[in-house]
Amino acid sequence: MPRAHYVGVDMGGTSFKIAVGDAEGRVVCERRAATQSEAGPEVVLARLAAESKAALEEAGAKAPTAIGIGLPGTLDMRAGVVRYLANFPGHWRDVDVRGPLEKALGAPVHILNDVRAATLGEHMFGRGRELGAQSMVLLALGTGIGGGVVIDGKLRLGALGSAGEIGHTILDPNGPPCGCGSRGCLETFASGPALSAEGVRLVLTGQAPRLREIVEGDANRVDPRAMGEAANAGDDKVRAAIARAGTYLAQVIANLIVALHPELVVIGGGVAGLGDLLMDPIRRGVRDYVKMFPVDTVRIETSTLGDRAGAMGAIAWAMQGGMPE
Amino acid sequence: MPRAHYVGVDMGGTSFKIAVGDAEGRVVCERRAATQSEAGPEVVLARLAAESKAALEEAGAKAPTAIGIGLPGTLDMRAGVVRYLANFPGHWRDVDVRGPLEKALGAPVHILNDVRAATLGEHMFGRGRELGAQSMVLLALGTGIGGGVVIDGKLRLGALGSAGEIGHTILDPNGPPCGCGSRGCLETFASGPALSAEGVRLVLTGQAPRLREIVEGDANRVDPRAMGEAANAGDDKVRAAIARAGTYLAQVIANLIVALHPELVVIGGGVAGLGDLLMDPIRRGVRDYVKMFPVDTVRIETSTLGDRAGAMGAIAWAMQGGMPE
């Protein structure tokens, strides 16, 4: 009997990552390629199949046992169909992912939301495994805020695979409009764009001299990374803006802790690169907010897998055989 | 082999309820007695043991197979010890419940929070069973707001048995002080006392003529029941106050739905007696807030067991053998 090999794919709008894992979940090969999403679904799926085959060959594997694919959008997980991918040019709608890929690769294809994949990755192979956490919550801070919940070792999906959308926790029903159609979601206060917008305001009002220098006066270049640099270089208002985002995150995390009492909360995504500038206010806020029980029973940590979490979680999803009936 | 009989107890500050169930979970006997909590733990536990024996005798059972007890406070579930019961005169602290009761009744005693017991009751024998919901959230609206979460048929407890404290979801970190030590918890906006306080304000400012009549000008008599009556008799401001409480509840429920996507949310506790005056704004609010997926996939219903849920859930807890290791 040939050795089992699982393919995990993390599909992004600009690039996708492929990892091949063995039956023990060890990653034996990783590749990355441009998505070229402007070419349309058919071309993208053909590229994905070709890159998967190349990765399997590199790993010395003949055929995959199963393939897991994390996708950033609304899915029909049971049908293997993408209902809507907002971040892809042309907005993929009702695209059958499973059919063409199962045909091309000759093995079962299981899709799931990309941040749910990252949650599973951190749980099985990252911070969750390191700390032995059976229940955990992940927040991925980027252009949006994605999330995922694991309870007693099982990824929480709900009937539609949509559970875990923590970025759309409503903090202020009268707050800024969110891309989801609601108002005042966490995403409108603590995502990368929300943070950058406040950075731009601080530059425009002369309250962030270091940030202004770093981006050479160009508002287009204001991003969380530049803001972290400016905060460390002495821009106190920028530091405070990052801390405010952390305090909003803390409120949502505190509320999840009193509802679910997970052992671990993982902060991932690009904005997590701010490190202690963000993590200290999050931890402080959670301590301030949770009075129902000793909150030192919950670890709040950055991701250990970083941008590898999605592909590794997709391997785990393939190993699990996707969504149970 | 004699037939199995389980005792379920719902312990309140003024009265406690005892139910005896058979191995199929059918309630064969129910009793109620005054707690006489001012007499202190020793006397209360002796009364509880005596009433349990009387209930078992009434049910034609010789000895119980196991006993489950729901208690309104902070517990060490594994040790069977009450850490703190706020609503009992003298504030029970570090009271061993399991030891004396196991000795008196000769069977294992399993304790849990009273609202978690009610959640289990609604899940196993009430609205959850009626609708076949495997995942559900319960909110019990009373003097405080308690809660409970069931995921995939399992009551979510967390390491300390404290998961499910949904009443302490923070809506406004700068809001009114909450009994828990935090600020702006749901409980400060939508509990019975929060609602009554707004009723009193409306009476004092001449904005609630019907309510004023109903309570004969006595602020002590303003409560959610009187407010419901006043709203139905034409006090629009009172109706709006109830609707505002419903909208706060809707925000918290919406946030739990995007995080967990349960199939069912149950509204229990005395304040749920307001019926559609409260349920309509809750359902409307949830529809307004949740944009991530079709929210008609989640049922929002009142409890079917009412104040029997706690004792019946305690039976279920006894049948399950309490907290798994």
Confidence of residue A268 (pLDDT cuts 50, 70, 90): very high
Task: Tell the residue number behind the tokens 């010890």, with chain if given.
Answer: B81
Q: What is the mean pLDDT of chain A?
A: 94
Number of CB pairs < 8 Å for A and B? 117
CA dist., res. A252 & res. B251, Å (int): 13
* Residue-level pLDDT at A325: 66
With a cut of 60, say whether residue A314 has pLDDT above it. Answer: yes
Q: Which residue of B has its CA nearest to A75?
A: B293
Token couple for A105: 């690769």
Residues of chain B contacting residue A157, judged by C-beta atoms under 8 Å apart: 261
Find the CB nearest B256 among A162, A259, A297: A259
Residue A258 has pLDDT above 90, yes or no: yes
Please report which helix (H) or strand (E) contains residue A11, including its range.
Answer: strand A5-11
Contact A256 B259 (CB under 8 A): yes
Is there a contact between B46 and B36 (Cβ–Cβ < 8 Å)?
Answer: no
**Chosen from B260, B282, B288, B290 to mutate, greatest number of chain A CBs within 10 A:** B260
Nearest-5° Cα angle at B287, B282 to B289: 90
Residue B251 touches partner A, C-beta closer than 8 Å:
yes
The answer, yes or no, to whether residue A21 has pLDDT greater than 90, is: yes
CA–CA gap between residue A148 and residue A135 (Å, rounded): 11
For the cut 80, the answer to whether the pLDDT of residue A155 exceeds it is yes
Give the per-residue pLDDT at B28: 92
- Do the beta carbons of residue A137 and residue A256 sit within 8 Å? yes
Facing residues of B96 across strands?
B81
Parallel, antiparallel or unpaired: strands B27-34 and B15-22: antiparallel
Distance from CA of B251 to the nearest CA of A (A): 7
Query: Which tokens go with B272?
Result: 């749920």
**Does B260 contact A158 at a Cβ distance shorter than 8 Å?**
yes
* ipTM at complex level: 0.94
Query: If you average pLDDT over residues A74-101, what whole number do you get?
Result: 88
Could you read off the pLDDT tens digit of each residue along chain B, which spans 325 residues? 568 899 999 998 889 999 999 988 889 999 999 988 888 899 999 999 999 999 999 999 888 999 999 999 889 999 999 998 877 776 788 999 999 999 999 999 999 999 999 999 999 999 999 999 999 999 999 999 999 999 999 999 998 888 999 999 999 999 999 999 999 999 999 999 999 999 999 999 999 999 999 999 999 999 999 999 999 999 999 999 999 999 999 999 999 999 999 999 999 999 999 999 999 999 999 999 999 888 899 999 999 999 999 999 999 999 999 987 6
Of A159, A255, A289, the CB nearest to B263: A159
The answer to whether residue A156 neighbours chain B at the CB level (below 8 Å) is yes
Reduced to 3 states, what is the DSSP secondary structure of residue A299? strand
Averaged pLDDT, A106-114: 97
User: How far B4 CA lies from chain A's nearest CA (Å)?
Assistant: 30
Does residue A260 carry a pLDDT above 70? yes
Look up residue B325 and give its two tokens.
Answer: 């290791």
Token couple for A94: 């009702």
Residue A291 near chain B (CB below 8 Å)? yes
